[in-house]
Structure 1
Amino acid sequence: MEIKPGQVAVITGAGSGIGKALAIACARRGLQVLVADIEQAAATTTAEEIQALGGNALAMCVDVSDAKQVNAMAEQCWQHFGACDLLCNNAGVSINKPLAECTSSDWHWVLSVNTMAIGYALNAFLPRMKEHGSGHIVNTASMAGLIPLSNFGVYVASKYAVVGLSEVLAQELAADNIGVSILCPGIVSTRIFESERNRSDKSISQLADDTDPMHTDFDQAYSRILTPDQVASMVLTAVANNLLYIPTHPEWAPLFQQRSDAIHSAFDTPLNNNNPTNI
């Protein structure tokens, strides 16, 4: 999609992290921005920063796991701006614990925010984007949508789903002049590991400041931390060039290759040589 002043971007999870950086980067390029976040104060702060730059922004408190709220966001978008050119389904949450310890509530919370919310947004925005005949959709997945990560099983499941649905979406929209990109970030300095702060059935007693450095226990080879601004720049470059995949950390490629090779080699197992007795 050619990015031009006056276009409209809708960004969820835009109160902090990648979403906020995306919102401000869009505004710097002259786009009008609907800033959506589950935290009203955070959304308002982002919108005020955009307005201070001379941009046009509307802040909304939206729980993306609620289809009615997502529909209301779409209605407000068209009433206020009259269009949606760039839809960034960016809001996301994470749980870090073994699958055996994950509860049904954990599964419901993560999948509803990370995966189902994208379906709600497509239902609310896509028909009118298709009528307009152009646009671009960015769905935030993760390197965890490409690579299995121990102790992040629920998160991995939600992000594998985002990758798959986005690949199908790209195929289905190829004739509609609507591009699709899948953002697959590695480690970025955000508050994703504090996302349970907004979970209704869990109380977090102490929160780190948004500017605190990200801490992980990942292998050092995969622990390079990008800033949200760096990722936002990659996203807008990908949108402008209609790129499907946006992997932010090329050093993770060997891990994806291991998974890809293992799947590919499975096609050559005795299961597929009509002689299962060789297994």
Structure 2
Amino acid sequence: MPTLSDLNGRTAVVTGAASGIGAALAIELSAQGMNLVIGDIDGDGVNALASRLRESGARCLPMQVDMSDPGAVQAFADAAFAEFGSVELLCNNAGVLLFGKVADASLGDWQWLSAVNVQGLLNSLHSFLPRMRAQDGWKHIVNTASTHAFLDNPQGSALYTASKQAIVGITTGLRYELASEGVLVTLLCPGQVSTRILDSQRNRPSQFGPRAAEPFGTGVIPFGITPDEVAKIAVAGILAESPIVFALEESTREHFRSQVRNAWQEADHALASPIGV
């Protein structure tokens, strides 16, 4: 397994890097000596972060990129390889959230969630993975999902949960598909994190329709694990070559485990019944 010193001089790509977990990942990876390519739809945010990283001595390439746009993501990948020659770590972290009931949601709500969370991930893989596979040496992909993908009762967040469940399926399949090639794949699942994710719709493009109501406001989540803590846990998982990493407050782990158990108990009950109910 690699050590922290093995990251030095290699290149990491982080999407959704203007704030929150993405920014924390970029800062943590740069602290380990990695070159950074950071992208976000918030161009001002990634440029500000790049300035901060460069002040600490890191090499950093920032780009404004809409991950739902295949052409923009391809240009992002082209710039990364042109600048650094290779990409050893790809962190597909860009993601958005909205709450609301399925029956009350607009088609635009789902189209926006899936365009960023699911299609954005696939756009990134399509643009970066072929050249990463052709490289020699250590290569690793980290896809950010959520503990929401494992909840037994996701009412109020079902569309978001569905998008994150898609990431779980894609990541699990990708891990087995690439194992023989030596490309490692990790699923990162944060729980409650103190970020601005409740205000995701600040960057919602107009083609996805009007903003949905924000039942919990748009401020920074006032509780949960910090983005810095998530980043440290994620890097530890990368170095341990972990297939899945949960990043959540220690005090909430047992409650989350009970939710996972409840979900599987429903499946077990259905499997034990001759009519599957």
TM-score (normalizing by structure 2): 0.90
1:233 partnered with 2:232: yes
Gaps of 5+ in 1: 216-223, 273-278
C-alpha distance in 1, partners of 2:157/2:130? 34
Partner of 1:214: 221
Partner of 2:266: 262
Q: Does 1:5 align with 2:8?
A: yes
Q: Pick one of 25, 49, 54 that aligns with 1:46.
A: 49
8 Å contact kept, 2:12–2:37: yes
Q: Is the Cα contact below 8 Å between 2:196 and 2:220 reproduced in 1?
A: no
Match of 1:193 in 2: 198
**Offset, 1:177:** 1.1
Shift of 1:264: 2.2
Q: 2:185 aligns with which of 180, 189, 198?
A: 180
The answer (yes or no) to whether the contact 2:234–2:245 under 8 Å persists in 1 is yes
Aligned residue number for residue 76 of structure 1: 79
Aligned equivalents of 1:213 and 1:94: distance in 2?
A: 13
Q: How does 1:74-113 map to 2 (within 5 A)?
A: 74-113=77-116
Provide the C-alpha distance between the structure 2 equivalents of 1:159 and 1:110, rounded to a whole number of angstroms.
10
Name whichever of 142-151 and 100-109 sits farther off.
142-151
Structure 1 counterpart of 2:121, from 85, 106, 118: 118
The reply to whether residue 138 of structure 1 matches residue 148 of structure 2 is: no
Write the distance in 1 (CA, Å) between the matches of 2:166 and 2:7: 31
- CA deviation after TM superposition for structure 1 residue 88, in Å: 0.5
In 1, Cα distance between equivalents of 2:181 and 2:113: 31
- Distance of 2:239 and 2:46 partners within structure 1: 25
Instruction: Write out per-residue CA displacement over residues 56-84 of structure 1, whole angstroms, 9 at most, x where no aligned residue.
Output: 11110000000111111110010001111
Letter in 1 for 2:141: I
What is the CA–CA distance in structure 1 between the aligned matches of 2:14 and 2:236, rounded to whole Å? 16
Aligned to 1:26: 29
CA distances 1:158-202 after superposition (whole Å, capped 9, x unpaired): 000000110000000111111111111110011111000001224
For 2:154 and 2:85, how far apart are their aligned partners in 1?
Answer: 41
Amino acid across the alignment from 2:237:
A
Structure 1 SS opposite 2:7: coil
1:261 is displaced (CA, Å) by 1.8
C-alpha displacement of 1:11: 0.4
Q: Give the % identical residues.
A: 35
CA distance in structure 1 between the partners assigned to 2:66 and 2:54 by the alignment: 23
CA apart distance, 1:265: 2.4
Q: Separation in 1 of the partners of 2:167 and 2:211?
A: 27
Q: Is the Cα–Cα contact under 8 Å of residues 147 and 191 in structure 2 kept in the other structure?
A: yes
CA 1:97–1:171: 2 relative to 1, 3 Å: same
Q: Distance in 2 between matches of 1:193 and 1:16?
A: 13
What SS does the corresponding residue of 1:33 show, helix, strand or coil? Answer: strand
Unmatched tracts of structure 2, length 5 or more: none
Question: For residue 270 of structure 1, what is the amino acid of its counterpart?
Answer: P
Displacement after TM superposition at 1:35 (Å): 1.0
Q: Deviations over 1:130-180 (max 9, x none)?
A: 111431111010011111421111101100000011000000011111111
Normalization by structure 1: what TM-score? 0.89
Q: CA 1:267–1:203 in structure 2 vs 1: closer, same or farther (change >3 Å)?
A: closer
Count of matched residue pairs: 263
Q: CA RMSD in A?
A: 2.2
Moved more, 26-35 or 140-149: 140-149
**Quick one: distance in 2 between partners of 1:94 and 1:88?**
18
Partner of 1:160: 165
Cα offsets for 1:12-44 (capped at 9, x unmatched): 000000000000000000000001010111001
